[in-house]
């Protein structure tokens, strides 16, 4: 008995010692800055290492939940910031981020390489880094097998032929869900979008809480081989479906309904109160650099904002990009977002 | 008979310390952060504004959310008890081959990330799935089934650990005197088990009361509980006043519940004579007993086995036939990215966090259990369970605005994760250990003292052997909890050291068969790790039985 207790104590003691030693070993010698971001952020390790080599700055990445949760953490801690740079404000959150005054002004020189359509913050506190479209995806095989035409427009989705074929995400709990709701507001206007959703509801649209349930659970090309051939997802889902398959198919099993796309732009900014202003600015510069921008597509499955950035083959072959995506003014979104979600819930769920 | 009149043979200083440790831990890592974030919502400029609280009472939608939360948690708890108690009996009292393995396996569901289980349930009940005809997808029924799935082991372990040591002789005497099986259970066994049942019920209620992923994934849109609403208001709308008001409602409900269960637990505190587990277990002989055992094992297989089997099956079911592709993909997909983590490292991270959390939970919870067992401090009992009933997002955001100055600047620190996990695990440790500690017959101590043993020696030779195995059971539970814990840690700024559940979550967030299959493979690894850990701890138990 006593020997057993001793073994337990010894095991715990050595485990604790190991724990204490581990963080101490990773103490940095040069400047270390903290990048606060959401769970989907990713960059190639060699690309990040190149930045450290060039500048002597080490970047610590803190992933703090989804985009909304991460931004709110930064807002909540603005008197004592948890990091130096934030990445992951999108255009649906842009106005809140600016109104709360958590970012300082910085306009990188490389902004000149970014088309005006992405430069949504004239006060230059937030720098556009990438964009991605939320679109309806369709299962090519399903439509071929059923000998049914693929819907071309948002209006088509209310036709009886597509009854019970579309699965969307709840805008109250999902960011692509919100983007698609905003797409319908951009298309049908402040006065028409609720009527459109009433028609979708009458046409048996299915609502899931999040992207995972909709895509993996209900979409007929998802992991569960569900019964819905139409799903709200991303313009980058067709290339991702190829890239994350083994062996990779010759064509993507998924298509994009270009009429349904809502453009999301993601921004980075230097957090107010940082003690490493210069280093933080260098990181924002770096995120607009050719190297980082070229890395963006295969890491986060979004598109670079920098003009002339080469796209990987899987994107040029399998991704379709809407020439005229739907969009709304960030200030408009910020002013009405909560009420819109409430109205959506009333129209579609209650 | 009644405890509290005798004090365990601990020196006074030690007793004060056992009380101070849990109180200090809860004050710093729970009360302070929660009060700060609620204060930020209800008294932003140091002047109290209770209007949001009024809104919760007057707004029909919010009232409905509060009502639904309590209703589904109550029903889930009753169902889990109804299914779990016979299971607890079978695993505690029936001798059958493979009992130890079954007991370890039933704990596995408890640690699974809800996203993964949600996916397994959708694969069973969703549109076009094998059990779709039941029509429970996106209904309350799906939520209830999932809650029973997750919490079955709470009842089996909490009640079972007492049941297996309950002296069977009073039952045998009752039967001998002509009492029927049911009457014996109702009048002899049930009163003895009451504290453990109340403890298990309280834990299951708290877990289902604050259930998050299950509600979102299986309940369908429009199904909201206080927990999902607090998450929405905090992370999406930054509506801190309303989130704070909802947190207050949560707290009030939990305090009421804890006072109630504490009363039930304390109402009839008998000193039980405990026996070694191998003395109480009986080989199954009669046909009736065999049928009962078979029925229970069938329930376990259907309820717990089928969803797990679905996950395992899918981790091998690759587009090119059954194989190890998804397991291999774990080491290849996202390689070279900051998002990438070697599966081995994810396992190591998980184990490291879990070991740290277990140590913290056992120290803090063990101290609390001693303090509770040696006196009538009922308040503490409720206090340690409070963290289970408060939204993870409330605690997480509270951490951010409070633990941000030296000496406790924990933001981004490695320690935040095990501390958050320990907050969830401590109540389990307390609830597993306290009934056992309380049940130590004081006459044993008195006898030892009369025979000249010093207080330290009494403690070492009487209390410690019994304590040691309670500690091991509690540690096993704490370890399993931290291994699977995800909710509390995801809101907390954390260093880039993903655990297995985080790896699963990341993979699920991207399209393509390799990501989804990889998530299934990582879940299977997590399950295997849990089963091995629990089995290992169960082995330890055997060595201590003789000391009863």
- Residue A350 CA to residue A208 CA, distance in Å, equals 15
Please identify which residue in the block is written with the tokens 């920098």: A306
In B275-327, the DSSP E strands lie at 282-283, 317-318, 321-322
The residue in chain B having the minimum alpha-carbon distance to the alpha carbon of residue A207 is B221
Asked if residue B2 has pLDDT above 90, the reply is no
Q: What confidence tier does B272 reach under pLDDT thresholds 50, 70, 90?
A: low
DSSP code, position B274: B
Q: CA nearest B426: which of B378, B469, B387, B379? A: B387
How far is Cα B496 from Cα B411, in angstroms, rounded to an integer?
13
- Is A173 close to B496, i.e. CB distance below 8 A? no
Residue found under tokens 């209006």? A155
Task: Answer whether A223 sits within 8 Å of B129, measured CB to CB.
Answer: no
| Spatial distance between the Cα atoms of B146 and B152, rounded to a whole number of angstroms | 10
Pairing relation of β-strands A166-169 and A254-271?
Answer: unpaired
Is ipTM > 0.85 here? no
What is the tens place of the pLDDT at every residue in A212-240? 889 988 899 988 888 899 999 999 999 99
> Three-class SS of residue B227?
helix
Quickly state the pLDDT bin for B30 (edges 50, 70, 90).
Answer: very high
pLDDT at A24: 36
Average pLDDT along chain A:
88
Set of chain B residues whose Cβ sits within 8 Å of the Cβ of A40: 509
Closest chain A residue to the Cα of B319, Cα to Cα: A246
Alpha carbon distance A53, B470 (integer Å): 53
Which residues on adjacent β-strands are paired with residue A257? A136
Q: Which residues of B touch A72 (CB under 8 A)?
A: 234-235, 238, 397
Please name the residues in contact with B27: beta carbons below 8 A apart, sequence gap of 6 or more: none
Å between B343 CA and nearest CA of chain A: 17
Average pLDDT of the residues of chain B? 82
Predicted local confidence at residue B548, as pLDDT: 27
Of B352, B370, B402, B387, nearest to B471 by C-alpha is: B370
**pLDDT per position as a tens digit, B155-164:** 998 888 778 8
Contact B495 A60 (CB under 8 A): yes
CA nearest to B104, candidates B518, B479, B514? B479
Q: Shortest CA distance to B122 belongs to which of B153, B145, B151?
A: B145
Q: Where are the alpha helices (DSSP H) in B164-286?
A: 169-176, 181-184, 190-209, 213-219, 226-231, 240-267, 277-280
A173 touches chain B (CB under 8 A): yes
Which residues have C-beta within 8 Å of that of residue B163, sequence separation ≥ 6? Answer: B88, B89, B92, B93, B193, B196
Q: In terms of pLDDT, which residue wins out, A156 or B261?
A: A156
User: What pLDDT is attached to residue B245?
Assistant: 92
Q: What is the pLDDT of residue B6?
A: 43
Domain spanning A133-263+314-348, CATH class? alpha beta
Is B126 close to A217, i.e. CB distance below 8 A? yes
For residue A182, how many other CB atoms are within 10 A of its CB? 26
Tell me if B494 and A233 make a contact (CB, 8 A cut-off): no
Higher pLDDT: B490 or A211? It is A211
- Parse chain B into domains and list their residue ranges: 17-44+54-545
A30-131+265-311 and A133-263+314-348 agree in CATH topology: yes
Q: Which residue has the higher pLDDT, B131 or A88?
A: A88
Q: What is the pLDDT of residue B498?
A: 77
Q: Mutating which of B221, B240, B463 best tests the A interface, going by the most A Cβ atoms within 10 A?
A: B221
CB proximity list for A232: less than 8 A, separation 6 or greater: A134, A135, A136, A137, A166, A167, A168, A169, A176, A177, A180, A214, A260
- How do A58-63 and B321-322 pair as beta strands? unpaired
**Closest to B437 measured CA to CA, from B19, B15, B3:** B3
| Dihedral sign, Cα of residue B229, residue B231, residue B235, residue B236 | negative
Q: Chain B partners of A58 at a C-beta cutoff of 8 Å?
A: none
Q: Please, which pLDDT band fits residue A22 given cuts at 50, 70 and 90? A: very low
pLDDT value for A317: 93
3-class state of residue A253 by DSSP? coil
| Cβ A239 vs Cβ A298: under 8 Å | no
DSSP state of A265: E
B159/B200 Cα distance (integer angstroms) = 7
For chain B, percent of residues with pLDDT exceeding 70: 89
Encoded tokens for A90: 């999108």
Instruction: Give the 3-state secondary structure of residue B184.
Output: helix
- What residue ranges do the domains of chain A occupy? 30-131+265-311, 133-263+314-348
pLDDT band for position A137 (cuts 50, 70, 90): very high
* DSSP β-bridge partners for residue A228: A219
- The confidence score (pLDDT) of residue B257 equals 86
User: Would you state the structure tokens that stand for residue A7, as one six-digit string?
Assistant: 């073994």
Spatial distance between the Cα atoms of A234 and A154, rounded to a whole number of angstroms: 16
Residue contact B515–A244, C-beta within 8 A: yes
Phi-psi region of A133 (alpha: psi -120 to 50; beta: other; left: phi over 0): beta
CB contact under 8 A, B544 and A1: yes
A8: chain B residues, CB-CB within 8 Å:
472, 540
Say how far apart CA B209 and CA B253 lie, in whole Å.
10
What separation in angstroms does the CA of B248 have from each of B8, B38, B210? 37, 8, 13
> For the CA atoms of B457, B473, B535, B524, what is the dihedral angle to 10 degrees?
-150
What residues of A are in contact with residue B227 (Cβ under 8 Å)? none
Spell out which residues of chain B touch residue A60, defining contact as CB-CB under 8 Å: 412, 495-496
A 73-102 residues with CB below 8 A of B?
Answer: 73, 75-77, 80, 82, 96
Judge whether A245 and B319 are in contact, CB under 8 Å: yes
**Among A83-87, B205-209, B529-533, whose mean pLDDT is lowest?**
B529-533
**Do the Cβ atoms of B516 and A223 come within 8 Å?**
yes
Give me the helices (H) in chain A, please.
2-25, 45-55, 67-76, 94-99, 140-146, 175-202, 211-212, 237-243, 277-287, 290-300, 313-318, 330-348
Q: Distance (Å) from the C-alpha of residue A219 to the closest C-alpha of chain B?
A: 10
**What is the DSSP code string of A220-246?**
TTSTT--SBSEEEEETTHHHHHHHTSS
Q: What is the mean pLDDT of residues A117-130?
A: 95
- pLDDT of B1 reads 35
Per-residue model confidence as pLDDT tens digits over B38-79: 998 888 777 777 788 887 778 888 888 999 999 999 999 999
CATH 3.40.50.1580 matches A30-131+265-311 = no
Q: Which residues contact B342 (CB under 8 A, 6 or more apart)?
A: B331
Burial per residue of B227-240, b for 16 or more beta-carbon CB atoms within 10 angstroms, e otherwise: bbbbbbbbbbbbbb
Q: Which residue in A239, A212, A37 sits closest to A129, CA to CA?
A: A37
- Cβ density class B402-437: b for 16+ within 10 Å, e for less: bbbeeeeebbbbbbbbbbbbbbbbbbbbbbbbbbbb
Question: What CATH architecture applies to the domain B17-44+54-545?
Answer: Orthogonal Bundle (1.10)
* A227/B contact by beta carbon, under 8 A: yes
Look at residue B543 in the predicted model and tell me its pLDDT.
39
Predicted local distance difference test score (pLDDT) of residue B376: 62
Q: Which tokens go with A107? A: 């306009």
Q: Write out pLDDT tens, residues B333-391.
A: 777 777 677 778 888 888 899 999 999 999 999 898 888 887 665 666 777 888 888 88
Q: What percent of chain A has pLDDT over 90?
A: 69
Is the pLDDT assigned to residue A199 strictly greater than 70? yes
Question: Average pLDDT for residues A329-336, to the nearest whole number?
Answer: 90
The nearest CA of chain B is from the CA of A61 a distance in Å of 6
pLDDT at A18: 37
Q: Are A330 and A263 in contact (CB under 8 A)?
A: no
Q: How large is the average pLDDT for residues A302-312? A: 95
Six-digit token string for B100: 């130890």
Q: Are B499 and B317 in contact, with CB atoms under 8 Å apart?
A: no
B280 pLDDT above the threshold of 80: no
């Amino acid at each position: 008995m006593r020997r057993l207790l001793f073994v337990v104590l010894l095991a715990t003691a050595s485990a604790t010692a190991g724990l204490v030693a581990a963080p101490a070993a990773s103490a940095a010698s040069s400047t270390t800055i903290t990048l606060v971001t959401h769970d989907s952020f990713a960059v190639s390790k060699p690309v990040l290492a190149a930045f450290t080599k060039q500048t002597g700055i080490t970047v610590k990445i803190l992933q703090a939940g989804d985009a909304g949760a991460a931004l709110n953490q930064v807002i909540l801690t603005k008197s004592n910031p948890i990091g130096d740079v934030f990445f992951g404000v999108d255009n649906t959150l842009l106005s809140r981020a600016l109104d709360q005054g958590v970012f300082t002004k910085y306009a990188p020189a490389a902004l000149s390489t970014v088309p005006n359509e992405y430069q949504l913050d004239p006060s230059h506190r937030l720098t556009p880094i990438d964009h991605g479209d939320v679109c309806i995806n369709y299962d090519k095989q399903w439509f071929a097998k059923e000998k049914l035409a693929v819907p071309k427009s948002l209006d088509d989705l209310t036709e009886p032929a597509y009854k019970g074929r579309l699965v969307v995400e709840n805008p109250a709990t999902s960011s692509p869900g919100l983007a698609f709701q905003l797409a319908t507001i951009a298309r049908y206007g402040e006065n028409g979008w609720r009527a459109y959703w009433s028609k979708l509801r009458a046409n048996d649209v299915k609502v899931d809480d999040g992207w995972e349930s909709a895509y993996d659970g209900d979409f007929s090309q998802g992991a569960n081989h569900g019964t819905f051939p139409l799903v709200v997802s991303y313009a980058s889902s067709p290339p991702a479906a190829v890239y994350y398959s083994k062996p990779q198919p010759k064509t993507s099993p998924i298509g994009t309904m270009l009429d349904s796309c809502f453009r999301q732009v993601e921004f980075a900014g230097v957090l107010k109160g940082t003690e490493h202003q210069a280093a933080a600015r260098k990181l924002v510069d770096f995120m607009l650099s050719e190297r980082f921008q070229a890395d963006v597509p295969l890491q986060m499955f979004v598109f670079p904002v920098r003009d002339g950035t080469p796209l990987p083959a899987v994107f040029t072959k399998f991704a379709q990009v809407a020439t005229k995506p739907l969009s709304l003014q960030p200030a408009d979104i910020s002013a009405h977002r909560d009420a819109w979600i409430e109205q959506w819930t009333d129209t579609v769920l209650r | 008979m009644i405890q509290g009149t005798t004090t365990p043979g601990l020196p006074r200083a030690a007793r004060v310390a056992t009380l101070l440790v849990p109180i200090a831990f809860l004050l710093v890592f729970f009360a302070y952060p929660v009060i700060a974030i609620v204060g930020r919502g209800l008294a932003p400029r140091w002047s109290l504004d209770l209007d949001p609280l009024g809104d919760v009472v007057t707004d029909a939608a919010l009232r409905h959310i509060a009502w639904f939360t309590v209703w589904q948690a109550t029903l889930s708890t009753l169902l889990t008890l109804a299914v779990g108690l016979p299971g607890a009996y079978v695993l505690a009292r029936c001798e059958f081959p493979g009992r130890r393995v079954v007991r370890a396996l039933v704990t596995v569901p408890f640690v699974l990330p809800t996203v993964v289980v949600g996916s397994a349930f959708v694969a069973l009940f969703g549109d076009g799935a094998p059990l779709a005809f039941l029509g429970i997808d996106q209904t309350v029924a799906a939520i209830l089934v999932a809650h029973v799935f997750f919490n079955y082991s709470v009842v089996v372990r909490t009640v079972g650990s007492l049941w297996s040591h309950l002296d069977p002789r009073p039952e045998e005497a009752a039967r001998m005197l002509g009492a029927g099986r049911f009457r014996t259970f109702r009048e002899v066994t049930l009163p003895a088990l009451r504290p453990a049942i109340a403890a298990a019920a309280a834990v299951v209620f708290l877990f289902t009361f604050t259930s998050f992923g299950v509600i979102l994934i299986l309940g369908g849109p429009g199904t909201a509980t206080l927990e999902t609403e607090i998450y929405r208001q905090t992370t999406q709308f930054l509506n801190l006043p309303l989130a704070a008001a909802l947190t207050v409602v949560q707290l009030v409900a939990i305090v009421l519940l804890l006072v109630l269960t504490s009363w039930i637990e304390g109402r009839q505190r008998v000193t039980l004579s405990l026996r070694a587990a191998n003395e109480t277990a009986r080989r199954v002989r009669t046909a009736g007993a065999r049928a009962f055992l078979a029925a229970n094992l069938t329930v376990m297989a259907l309820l717990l086995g089928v969803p797990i089997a679905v996950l395992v099956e899918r981790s091998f079911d690759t587009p090119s036939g059954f194989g190890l592709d998804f397991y291999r993909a774990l080491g290849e997909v996202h390689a070279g990215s900051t998002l990438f983590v070697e599966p081995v490292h994810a396992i190591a991270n998980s184990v490291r966090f879990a070991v740290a959390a277990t140590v913290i939970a056992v120290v803090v919870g063990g101290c609390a259990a001693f303090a509770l067992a040696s006196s009538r401090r009922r308040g503490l009992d409720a206090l340690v369970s409070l963290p289970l009933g408060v939204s993870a997002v409330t605690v997480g955001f509270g951490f951010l605005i409070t633990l941000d100055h030296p000496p406790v600047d924990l933001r981004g620190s490695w320690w935040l994760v095990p501390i958050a996990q320990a907050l969830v695990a401590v109540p389990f440790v307390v609830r597993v250990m306290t009934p056992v500690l309380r049940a130590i017959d004081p006459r044993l101590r008195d006898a030892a003292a009369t025979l000249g043993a010093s207080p330290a020696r009494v403690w070492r030779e009487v209390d410690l052997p019994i304590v040691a195995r309670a500690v091991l059971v509690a540690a096993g539970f704490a370890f399993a909890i931290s291994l699977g814990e995800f909710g509390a840690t995801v809101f907390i700024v954390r260093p880039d050291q993903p655990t297995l559940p985080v790896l699963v979550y990341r993979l699920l967030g991207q399209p393509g068969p390799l990501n989804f299959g990889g998530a299934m493979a990582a879940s299977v690894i997590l399950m295997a790790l849990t089963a091995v850990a629990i089995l290992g701890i169960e082995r330890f138990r055997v060595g201590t039985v003789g000391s009863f």
